[in-house]
């Protein structure tokens, strides 16, 4: 008798690569002119998303024929929350004789925007955004907080926190005591949300953490690792700090990266803030630039063996760091010293402006996805028709179903061929 038929193992289908759940978002707002009408008395923004390491951008939409309407200058993305809310700031130039610094909240999920009331006084600080779980720009659980540090120690080290939330719907001034250990002036490169607090980052000396929802908030100072701090008089290094250092959240922790280019052996070092309360850092990765340059993956990029500028740490992979060089954005695994991916970019401004201060890592909400060609969020008034949108959805669904049918057909052919081959082997065994 022939051997019993062998059990067919369960069919394992390789999952298709999942779309990335984050983007590298440029902090510099662009202006995009359109011939279509925009919603009256509402700000309109266009969000163009690209899969990393491509560069995603936010643009302000203005009517091309309207030369007298509101326009922004020196506009930036200050924060981007994973719920889909972006905090934008800039000088709104209108028919007033002077420009005023303004804040907008742009909801990428509902594609709506709201301008916050003007702050009392001249401001002078950088704001961050704190959104409670399940929050949105139209709910009562977000807070915009702007830290105004003292310019010198002569005013007794007093600082201020300007806070805005839907309730009470006005800016609230909260006085703060500035920690004594901080070197003035304090330069906030950007603001992060982490562990229920807002963290103002000075890339030359450390971080200031604060809970903006507290009735009487207090500032907690966390100095950078000793080998990562800059000397007081090193003004050039402080001015260009964003090029050779970055700090952002990755893997649920704060990560700090430095390119030590002036050392005998230029290195890249990455620290993790292991204990925020105690201000303790651990050195997790250390890689020589020469080892990265010598790797075949770097040679394949065609880039020169020059010192790059830092961009950010991958939000989900703390061992992967991104760099700018020669109008390219590329990632490097600090453990293997290999380039993980590379892509040309069109950064707003010249190459000298590309640094960790000009981009941020934005983890996308579930309803916002990236297609292979990128995705844009625009107001319905200037998008394609409803019929076209339905047709596009049906086409995408048909493509997925057709791919599944093709896979099933090929799988049946392969299994049938294997069964025939098994039958021939069994017959050969019987004859012998």
The answer to whether residue 427 scores a pLDDT higher than 60 is: no
> Residue 94 domain-assigned?
no
Q: Looking at the 3D structure of the chain, how many domains does it have?
A: 1
Tell me whether strands 55-63 and 30-34 are parallel, antiparallel or unpaired.
Answer: parallel
> Residue 28 domain-assigned?
no
> Residue 72 domain-assigned?
no
Could you give phi then psi for residue 84, rounded to 5 degrees?
Answer: 110, 5
Tell me whether strands 22-26 and 55-63 are parallel, antiparallel or unpaired.
Answer: parallel
Q: Give residue for tokens 């293997």.
A: 336
- 388 pLDDT tier (thresholds 50, 70, 90): very low
The answer to whether residue 328 scores a pLDDT higher than 60 is: yes
Query: Do 303 and 293 touch, CB atoms closer than 8 A?
Result: no
User: Token pair of 364, please?
Assistant: 């996308």
- 399 pLDDT tier (thresholds 50, 70, 90): very low
Q: In what order do the strands lie in the sheet with 71-80?
A: 71-80, 85-93, 100-107, 112-115
Q: Which of 255-264, 310-319, 398-407 has the lowest mean pLDDT?
A: 398-407
- 297 pLDDT tier (thresholds 50, 70, 90): very high
The answer to whether residue 322 scores a pLDDT higher than 50 is: yes
- 385 pLDDT tier (thresholds 50, 70, 90): very low
The answer to whether residue 63 scores a pLDDT higher than 80 is: no
pLDDT in tens, 30-42: 877 665 665 554 4
Residue 39 CB neighbour total at 10 angstroms: 14
> Residue 251 domain-assigned?
yes
Q: How far apart are CA 132 and CA 82, in angstroms?
A: 11
Average pLDDT over residues 260-275: 90
pTM: 0.78
> Residue 277 domain-assigned?
yes
For the chain, give the secondary structure using H, E and C. CCCCCCCCCCCCCCCCCCCCCEEEEECECEEEEECCCCCCCCCCEEEEECCCCCEEEEEEEEECCCCCCCEEEEEEEEEECCCCEEEEEEEEECCCCCCEEEEEEEECCCCEEEECCCCCCCCCCEEEEEECCCCCCCCCCEEEEEEECCCCHHHCCEEEEEEECCCCCCEEEEEEECCCCCCCCCCCCEEEEECCEEEEEECCCEEEEECCCCCCCCCEEEECCHHHCCCCCCHHHHHCHHHHEEEEEECCEEEEEEEECCCCCCEEEEEEEEECCCCEEEEEEEEEHHHHHHCHHHHHHCCCCCCCEEEEECCCCCCEEEEEECCEEEEEECCCCEEEEEEECCCCCCHHHCCCCCEEEEECCCCCCCCCCCEEECCHHHCCCHHHHHHHHHHHHHHHHHHHHHHHHHHHHHHHHHHHHHHHHHHHHHHC
Average pLDDT over residues 332-353: 86
Taken as a whole, the chain contains a residue count of 432
The domain in which residue 254 lies consists of 231-356
> Residue 299 domain-assigned?
yes
Average pLDDT over residues 130-147: 74
pLDDT for residue 75:
85
Radius of gyration of the chain (CA): 26
Q: Which of 92-101, 221-230, 389-398 has the lowest mean pLDDT?
A: 389-398
Q: How far apart are CA 325 and CA 153, in angstroms?
A: 39
> Residue 336 domain-assigned?
yes
- Indicate if the alpha-carbon torsion angle 105, 106, 110, 114 is positive or negative: positive
Query: Do 249 and 255 touch, CB atoms closer than 8 A?
Result: yes
> Residue 10 domain-assigned?
no
pLDDT in tens, 253-263: 999 999 997 77
Nearest to 148 by CA among 112, 184, 113: 184
Query: Do 163 and 217 touch, CB atoms closer than 8 A?
Result: no
User: Token pair of 26, please?
Assistant: 């440029």
**Cα angle for residues 181, 184, 189 (degrees, 5° grid):** 100
Beta pairing partners, 250: 253
pLDDT in tens, 167-210: 889 999 999 999 988 988 899 999 999 999 999 999 999 999 99
pLDDT in tens, 343-355: 998 766 556 679 9
Nearest to 230 by CA among 240, 215, 220: 240
């Amino acid at each position: 008798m022939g051997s019993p038929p062998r059990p067919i193992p369960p069919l394992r289908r390789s999952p298709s690569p999942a779309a990335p759940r984050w983007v590298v978002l440029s902090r510099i707002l662009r202006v995009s002119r359109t011939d279509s009408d925009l919603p009256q008395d509402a700000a309109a923004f266009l969000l163009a998303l690209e899969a990393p390491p491509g560069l995603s951008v936010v643009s302000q939409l203005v009517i091309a024929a309207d030369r007298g309407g509101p326009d922004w200058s020196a506009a930036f993305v200050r924060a981007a929350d994973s719920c889909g809310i972006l905090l934008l700031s800039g000088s709104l130039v209108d028919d007033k004789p002077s420009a005023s610094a303004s804040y907008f909240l742009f909801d990428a999920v509902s594609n709506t925007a709201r301008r916050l009331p003007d702050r009392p006084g001249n401001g002078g600080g950088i704001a961050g955004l704190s959104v409670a779980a399940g929050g949105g720009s139209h709910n009562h659980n977000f807070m915009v907080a702007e830290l105004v540090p003292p310019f010198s120690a002569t005013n007794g080290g007093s600082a201020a926190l300007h806070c805005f939330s839907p309730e009470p719907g006005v800016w609230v001034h909260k006085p703060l005591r500035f920690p004594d250990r901080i070197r003035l002036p304090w330069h906030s490169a950007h603001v992060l949300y982490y562990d229920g607090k807002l963290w103002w980052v000075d890339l030359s000396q450390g971080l200031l953490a604060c809970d903006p929802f507290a009735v009487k908030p207090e500032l907690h100072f966390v100095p950078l690792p000793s080998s990562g701090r800059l000397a007081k008089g090193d003004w050039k290094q402080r001015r260009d700090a964003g090029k050779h250092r970055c700090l952002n959240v990755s893997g649920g922790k704060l990560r700090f990266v430095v390119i030590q280019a002036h050392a005998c052996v230029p290195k890249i070092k990455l620290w993790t803030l292991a204990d925020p309360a105690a201000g303790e850092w651990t050195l997790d990765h250390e890689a020589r630039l020469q080892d990265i340059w010598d790797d075949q993956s770097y040679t394949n990029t065609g880039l020169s063996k020059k010192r790059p500028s830092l961009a950010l740490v991958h939000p989900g992979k703390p061992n992967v760091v991104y760099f700018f060089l020669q109008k390219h954005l590329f990632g490097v695994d600090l453990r293997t010293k290999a380039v993980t991916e590379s892509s040309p970019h069109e950064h707003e401004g010249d190459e000298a402006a590309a640094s960790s201060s000009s981009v941020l890592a934005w983890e996308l909400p579930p309803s916002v996805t990236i297609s292979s060609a990128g995705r844009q969020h625009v107001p319905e008034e200037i998008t394609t028709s409803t019929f076209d949108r339905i047709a596009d959805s049906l086409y995408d669904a048909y493509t997925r179903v057709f791919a599944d049918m093709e896979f099933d057909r090929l799988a049946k052919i392969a299994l049938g061929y294997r069964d025939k081959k098994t039958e021939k082997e069994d017959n050969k065994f019987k004859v012998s």
